[in-house]
Each structure stands twice: as structure tokens, then as C-alpha cells.
Chain A
Amino acid sequence: MSIRRIVIWIGLLLCLLTTGCNEQKAIVELAEGNAVYYWRTDLRLDSAERAFLGRYHINKVYCRYFDVVMDDATGEPKPNATISFSDTLPDSIEIIPTVYITEDCMHETHEGLAEKIVKRIRQMNETNDIRNVREIQIDCDFTSKSCKRYYQFLKEVRLSLTSHFSPLTSQLSTTIRLHQLAMEAPPVDYGALMIYNTGDPRKWEERNPILDFRDVQPYLRRLEGYPLPLAAAYPVFQWTRTIQGVRVDHTVEAEVILRVKQAMESERSNLSRLIITYHLDKDNIERYKPETYEEIYHH
């Protein structure tokens, strides 16, 4: 890690410590960087994907380690679709273990869940020789019904993080959907703002359900005052589904992504500090021109 990044991280931590008691938290800046989500069940990169990491100076990979789903048999959450590590990432890239939790896991309190997740991540790192993990991210499509329980859960994750990871480096982030901007901010170090899946999938003929500027617009005014540092995650994926027997491929035009990015950054300039694309995959790389990716990753 460069000296500059160490300083930034320590600065971020100090800011959090010193402002912890204030009602109005000062929003710290995230370290500048380019990132991707990795959402497959085997960490194995082909040459195109590896080249992508280098070409766009990707320094963080948010890697889905496993999902947490409700086990119908026991009524308790359990891990599912755990990733295998057939490959390694270049040393220069920081891996951020990411865990997707289905919302129904937050319908009631499950004692020890946070501890189990953190412990499992730590064990996966140890077993698979993944070093220098400084952060974990939790992804959950929480609603106003599950929000309170989810936030409590995040607090417990943070507590577990400090006991299982170095307290000085254990960061916690969570994904934030646009509609969640209207809720109280979650108790994490920063949020990864998911700028996708914004529309009503049933009204796909009117608006692109992955991303449509008109669906983003109402949330723009919430960006400036949102009391948490935010990274921006943009969609580069394709969603294929059948609607009344007709195959429909949803993809977002490059122009739309860039227009949304511009509008969001004009409301909140530091949204360009940490940029993530969802998700790393050969097909997604080929979907857009290199110029588009350069624009997306432009700070």
C-alpha cells in the first residue's frame, strides 16, 4: 500500500473517531480508485478480464464470497453458493469480501449471524491465502420493514470485525439502492450506491428496468446531503428474461450510463472518487467500447 493511501485511510478513521459524538458528521472523502464487482462462483479470470483490470487501473475487487439465504428446513440463515478460488488476483488489487444476504434473513433477529459471517470470511481468507483484507461489504436489499434489524446487524458485524480483523484496518461498507437514500443512513464507513435496477421490471416497455434517467432524477436531490461517503456502482451487465414468451434483453446504453454519471456527480462531486462497475465478465467487457469504460472510470 502506498504511503498516500495509508494516510488517507488513517485520516478517514480519525475523522470517524473524532466526529463520532457529533450529530452532524463531516463526510470524509473516499480514497480515489477504480473497482469492479466479481459475482461468479469461481474466482477464475480469463485473459480479457485480467487485461481489463490492468487497462482500467482497477485497484479493488468487491468479490462475492457467498450468499446468506434462509434455510427452509431450520428456519435459520445459512451460507450458499460459496466461491471457489481457482485463481488469484494481481497483488496490486485489494479484494473486498462481499456477502449478499437475502432480505428475508432480516425479518427476524438471528443471534450470532454477524459473528458467523465475519468468522467465515476470515477463515476463507486464511484457508485460501488471501491476505491484506481490510474491508468487507454487505449487500442486502433492505426495506423499511427490515431496515432497523439490518442496521443492528451491521453494528454487530462491525463489532465482530474488530475482534476478527485488525481494528485499525477493518472497514465496513454496504450497498445502498437509490430508494434507500430516503432512509436513515446505515451504520457503516461508506455506502456503495447501486445505480442500477432502478425501474419497475413490469414497466419495461416504458423504461429500462436496469437504468433510466427518469428513475434516477427524483433521487438526485438526496445526494448532496446524504450523510455517508458514497462510492458509485454503474451497471455494465445484461439482463435477459422472457416476457409473455418473448425474449427480452435489457442492457443500458453507454450514453445513459454516462448521462446519469454526469448528473449524479454534478449533485455530489465526490461521487467520482470511487467508481465500481457491476460486474467483471468477458461479455460485459465486450459490451461497451473502451472509450465508454474510460468515461465511466473518469474521476
Chain B
Amino acid sequence: MKRFIIISLMAAMTLPSIACGWYGTDNYYLFSPYTGQNFKDRVEKICNDNWKAYIGETSDNEWYSFHADDVLKAARKKGDALMVSYVQNLQKYLKCVGVERDKQYEWDYPTKEEIAAQQRDLKAVREYAQGKTNSKLRSQHALLFMRCNMVLGRHQENINFWEQTASQFIETVYKDMMKNIYAGALYKMGREVEAGQLFAEMDDYESLMTLYYKKRSYEAIRQHYMQNPTSKALPWLLTDFVNNAQEAADAITGGGGAVGKQFIRDINNQESLQMQQFCELVVREGKTDYPIMWKMAKAWLEFLVGKKKEAVDDILAAAKLDGTARMKDNAHVLLLYITASQAKPGQALDDYLADELEWLKGKQQEHEWGDAFFDHFENRLTDQVLVPRYRSNPVRLTAISHALDANGSGFDLDTLNVASTEKFLYYVNSPANTKFDKFLKRHIVLNDTAMSDIIGTKYMRLCQWDKAIKWLNTVPVDYYNAHRGKEYLYYSLVRQWDVEPWSQRQWLDASKAWDSDYKWWKQRKLDFCKEMQEMENSLSVLKGKEFEQRCYNLAVRYAQASIYGDCWWLLRNYKSCMDSVRVNEVDLGQKAIQMLQKVAVSSDPVLKRKALFALGYRELYNDVKGTKYWTDWKWEDGESVQIYHRNAPQFLAFQALYEQTGDQPQEDYIRRCDEYDLFRQYYRQHH
């Protein structure tokens, strides 16, 4: 089946359009009192499985989708004329649906003739389908009939057809879809309450959102409850309210998702308080089938507005009330979250977490298809509660982030200091002493070779070459060939660390990474460490020009290995334009500057000019705090204005170079430099 086409059409055709779309968020919600699988996802999967079975597709491909040609081919082979005609008409219907899509998003807006043809085709398909509602494929044809009616706006006809005929059909996914269209038709005909009950029964969240878009406030929910305390839409409305309150709370603490807030509705503290009181009232009235749901909603809302003690009392009370198994599980995880976030650190908390997290892992194993609630809970618990709680214990923190699923917002192994990283490796490979350690170690999967590379690389970032060599010695070449991407291998093989980056950039076309099967045959990182170790160790015994040349050569290598160098691959597995020098690493740009400054006073004019030119290389200064480039742009009165910093080290280096070479430098590498050329143009007039 074309992805979501039926349902998205339902949403588009049967319900009013809303200007703001409803999106999910990666800020996982912890209030999830029912396991309902979204109607759209559920029916799509079943339909696809049915088509897969029909055409005899036996692969495990979960993402199979309907292709009319495949089905027609299979149907013809089976001599299934009825299926052939059904699929042909289904195709015609889908084409008509495409016209609706074009209206929204395509430059070619449909013409009157195309709309007329669409209407004509819809009527023809409708007539065909109606005539087959007693055939072997009655459910499919009845669905097709109702779909056509839906697009044609014949909603009353769909209501009649469902009530008199289709509701008597045997239970199939097609019947579910017809019921969904029926609910949409009820809505269209003004029977909103009935429609809402049906959409809730079917877990059709998109339709519920459209139906109740403007009826999701505390007051609207209260009125809804007063009219029908056991309304099937109430769990959805309450969930929506509580989750929006979580969004609002996250907006304050900054604990939301990385992709930014997508507010569905704003809940302020006052409205949250009203809802808390109302939840209590509902529990006391005893009219609801699910008091646990209302009580835990109250507890979670309290927690979100900072009423932590009340939250504990209420979540404990909720756990004793009636509700479904899912609601009890939800109360359980909320109790875990609320308790863990305020318990004092210590053995008792560790033991509690060990038991509870083991329970959680068990729940993750049991979960139904499409229900990732327990995974999401683990994610949020780790990021929001456990990582902050164990931040003072880097080894435990590292263990938690390896044993549990986290988004990584609170912890990054790459920036952990090397001593803690070594301790972590030792911790993992030694026997566990406590219940919590036992839990963590049971769930940590670690590759010792990868850890050796990580620790070795961390020492490289500190320029501690001897220790880096010790760790990298244990990492075979094959490890890199197996665990690095094609681009990484290509870049690391082609780019050389002894090329002066200020004179020659080693630009590469990343697409060429696929042209050959690039493999390391030598441990490149280890080679670099050995070379640096030897060059640095012997520096102190050198004198005069030899010393200056060595300093210059070291500067080249520091600059190349820095994040802004072409050989970034030495210290990183990947590079982003947003990257900079991180904590627990040496600024190699700064080290290169220090070396070049020794050379800039050389009595050898050639070497001196090279060093001065290199000191004008802006990539060296990216992370040097407080340092400005020689020229910059700033916004002034709506215009971009160029400004000059005459005290910038880059400026001073270029100035010294200018004084050395005059306005017409002889060296080709200086003349080719556009930045120096700009400097000359400026300095010529302003010195």
C-alpha cells in the first residue's frame, strides 16, 4: 500500500485542515498509560503483510510496501481475475488521491478538467466497488467503495453503508479502515462526540488531534469528563495535557530534545495546578474506570512543577489504585524516575537502581511491536537523572552510559579525561563488588581493542607520545580497516602530515573514496606517534639552524594533526565544520605557533620568512582565546563593514613579513596567498 496514502487522505479529506502540523518530539514522554499502537502504523503494517503474503514474498523485509505491478503479476499467475480488477481500480483510486496531493504541494495545480476526470474516475471506481461488495473480496471492495464516497464527500452514504452493511463483516484490517472512515463521516456530519469515541477506540491519534485540537485545555477536559466520565477519549486527552506540561517544564530546564521544541499546546503552572486538583477530584468521585491514571497524572504534574514531595506521595498512592497492567507499569517507572531524581547518593540508591533497572530491562524484552516506551524511559532516565547524579564519579558515569541507552546529551566518552578512561577499562575487566556494579557489568559490551585505540588517541591529543605508543601498539591495522569508513581510510592514506598546510592544502574529493578499496597496511597513527616522539626528544640536543628547522617541522606536524589541519584523522574519527579543540586535549594550533615563534627570529632569511608566513595562517588561531584575526567583518547600520586589528598576532606576522619582503615578495608560496595579498593591499595604504 502506498505509504499512509489512505489514512493521510482520511485526515485531509474528512477533517478540517489545521495550519500547524502535529509532530512527535525526541523529548520522550513519561506519561504513557496505554499501549495503543497508532492506527495508521498498525493498519499499514497489516496491509503490507497481506500484500506480501499474496505475492509470495518471503523475505523478512519489514519495510515492504505495495506495488500494484507485483500484485497484478501474482494475481494473473494465479488466475485471480477478481484481484486483478480490484487492484486496477485501486490504482485508479490512488491516482485520484494524487490529484488531491498535487493541490497542496505541486506547482502544477490540477485543472478543472483534471478535477472533473478525477470525479468521473472516482464515481466509476465507486460503482465498480459497490457491485463487488458481495464478492469473495467483499471487504476490500467495500473499503474501496467507502474511500470513494469519502473523497466525493458522500459522508451520509458512508454512515448508512457502515451501519447497515459493513459493520456486519468479519473482523479484518479492511473493516477497521472502514470503521475509521465511518468515524470521519460522523465527524463531517457534526456527530463529533461519537467520532471522538471511535477514533479513541481505534488509537487514531492524528484524527483525535484534529478533532480535539482546540479542546485540550484543562477546562475542555473537565467539561468532557463531566459529560462522560468514562469517555474513551479521556486517556488520550489527559495524556496530551500531561505531555504538553512536560514540554513546558523541559523548556525551562533545557532538558528537551536536540531538535528544538515543537509545542503542541502550552501549559502554564496555573493550568497544571488546576489539573492536579481536578485529577484528585476524579479519583475521589470514583466514576472513572482508571483511578490510577488520574492519580499518576497528578503525581507527574506535581513533579514537573517542582512539588517533589507531593509527587512521591501521590505516585506511591497511585500504585495501589485500579488500572490496566500498562498503567501499573507506567506508575512503576514514574516512581522510579521521581525517586531516583531526589534520593541521596549512596549504597541504598545504588541497590535500588540495580533492582529497578533490571526490572526495566525485563520490560524492554516484553514490549509489543512499535511500543518503545520502556526504551524511551531508559533514555530519559539516563540523560536526565543518572548522568547528572553520577557526574562526580567518572568511572561509574562511563559505566552507566555504556550499560544503558542514552542520547549522549550528558556524557561523552570522547571528551572524558584519559585517566578516567583507563580506570573505566580496568573497572570493566575486574570483578564487581556491589549489586549495582554487577548490573552495570552485565550490560556493558566493550571492545578492548577499540578502548585501546580510544586511550591511545587521547594520549596523542595530549602529545604524550610514549603513552600513546604503548596503547596503540596493541591495535592492529585490521582494526582500522574494519571499523573506519571509506572516507576516513581514503583521507588518512592520501593526506600527509609533513606537508606545510599554510602553503599547500590537501583538498580531496570525498566521492573518490569509493573508487578503490583503500586499506591501511601500516599503523599510521602509531607511525606518527613514533615520529613525533623521536623529533621532540632530540629537539633539546639540536642547535642553530638545525634546531630552527626541527621547530618548523614540528610546527607543520602539529598544525596538520590539529582539528583544523588536513590530518585531523590522526586525532579524530570524523570531522565537522563545527568542531574545535575540546576539553582534555592540547591546542595543537597553539603548539605550532610556539614552535614558529622560535623560528621567526631566525637569522636564516628563507626560514624566517617561512615562519612569518606560517604565523599568518588563520587556522592556527581558531581556538587561541581572545585572539582576533587581522581583519574581520562586523554589522553596522544594516551594512557589513570590514575592520582591521593591527595588534592581532596574524597582523603582526604579516607586517614583519612585509617588512622582510617588501611589496613584491619573490617566493611563489607567498605571492599565491590571497589572504596575504589582501593584507598587502591594505598595508600598502595604511602603514
Q: Which residues of A contact B (CB under 8 A)?
A: 40-42, 78-82, 84, 116, 119-120, 123-124, 126-127, 144, 182, 240-242, 244-247
Q: Which of A120, A126, A242 has the most CB of B within 10 A?
A: A242
Chain B residues in 8 Å Cβ range of A119: 107
Are A244 and B17 within 8 A (Cβ)?
no
Given contact pairs A79-B107, A82-B104, A245 touches B268 in the complex (Cβ within 8 A)? yes
8 A–B contacts from the bound complex (CB under 8 Å):
A79-B104, A82-B109, A123-B111, A124-B109, A127-B111, A182-B638, A244-B252, A245-B251
Chain B residues in 8 Å Cβ range of A81: 19, 104
Are B111 and A82 within 8 A (Cβ)?
no
For the complex, give the distance between the alpha carbons of A82 and B19 in Å: 10
Kindly state whether residue B361 has any CB partner on chain A within 8 Å. no
What distance in Å separates the Cβ of A240 from its nearest Cβ neighbour in chain B?
7
For the complex, give the distance between the alpha carbons of A218 and B393 in Å: 57
Chain B, 231-265, contact with A by CB distance < 8 Å: what is the 0/1 string? 00000000000000000110110000000000100
Which residue of the partner chain B has the closest CB to A241? B266
For the complex, give the distance between the alpha carbons of A41 and B19 in Å: 6
Interface size, B (range): 20 to 34
Are A242 and B109 within 8 A (Cβ)?
no
Q: Which residues of B contact A (CB under 8 A)?
A: 16-19, 103-112, 115, 248-249, 251-252, 263, 266-269, 271, 638-639
Are B266 and A127 within 8 A (Cβ)?
no
What distance in Å separates the Cβ of A103 from its nearest Cβ neighbour in chain B?
15
What distance in Å separates the Cβ of B98 from its nearest Cβ neighbour in chain A?
15
What distance in Å separates the Cβ of A73 from its nearest Cβ neighbour in chain B?
12
Are A126 and B111 within 8 A (Cβ)?
yes
Which residue of the partner chain A has the closest CB to B244? A242
For the complex, give the distance between the alpha carbons of A144 and B641 in Å: 14
Are B266 and A242 within 8 A (Cβ)?
yes
Q: Which 7 A-B pairs have the closest CB atoms?
A: A242-B266, A247-B268, A123-B109, A41-B17, A245-B252, A247-B266, A116-B107
Given contact pairs A78-B105, A245-B269, A42 touches B263 in the complex (Cβ within 8 A)? no
Further 10 A-B residue pairs, CB within 8 A, beyond A78-B106, A123-B111: A41-B19, A79-B106, A82-B105, A120-B108, A123-B109, A126-B111, A127-B115, A240-B266, A242-B266, A244-B251
Chain A residues in 8 Å Cβ range of B105: 78-80, 82
What distance in Å separates the Cβ of A45 from its nearest Cβ neighbour in chain B?
13
Are B103 and A242 within 8 A (Cβ)?
no
Which residue of the partner chain B has the closest CB to A115? B107
Are A84 and B266 within 8 A (Cβ)?
no
Are B248 and A242 within 8 A (Cβ)?
yes
Which residue of the partner chain B has the closest CB to A123? B109
Which residue of the partner chain B has the closest CB to A119? B107
What distance in Å separates the Cβ of A90 from its nearest Cβ neighbour in chain B?
22
Chain B residues in 8 Å Cβ range of A182: 638
For the complex, give the distance between the alpha carbons of A245 and B254 in Å: 11
For the complex, give the distance between the alpha carbons of A80 and B17 in Å: 13
| B268 touches which of A41, A124, A246 (Cβ 8 Å) | A246
Are B268 and A242 within 8 A (Cβ)?
yes
Are A42 and B115 within 8 A (Cβ)?
no
| A127 touches which of B109, B268, B638 (Cβ 8 Å) | B109
What distance in Å separates the Cβ of B209 from its nearest Cβ neighbour in chain A?
15
For the complex, give the distance between the alpha carbons of A68 and B110 in Å: 18
Chain B residues in 8 Å Cβ range of A245: 248-249, 251-252, 268-269
Chain B residues in 8 Å Cβ range of A247: 266-268, 271
Are A127 and B107 within 8 A (Cβ)?
no
Which residue of the partner chain A has the closest CB to B304? A245
Chain B residues in 8 Å Cβ range of A82: 103-105, 109
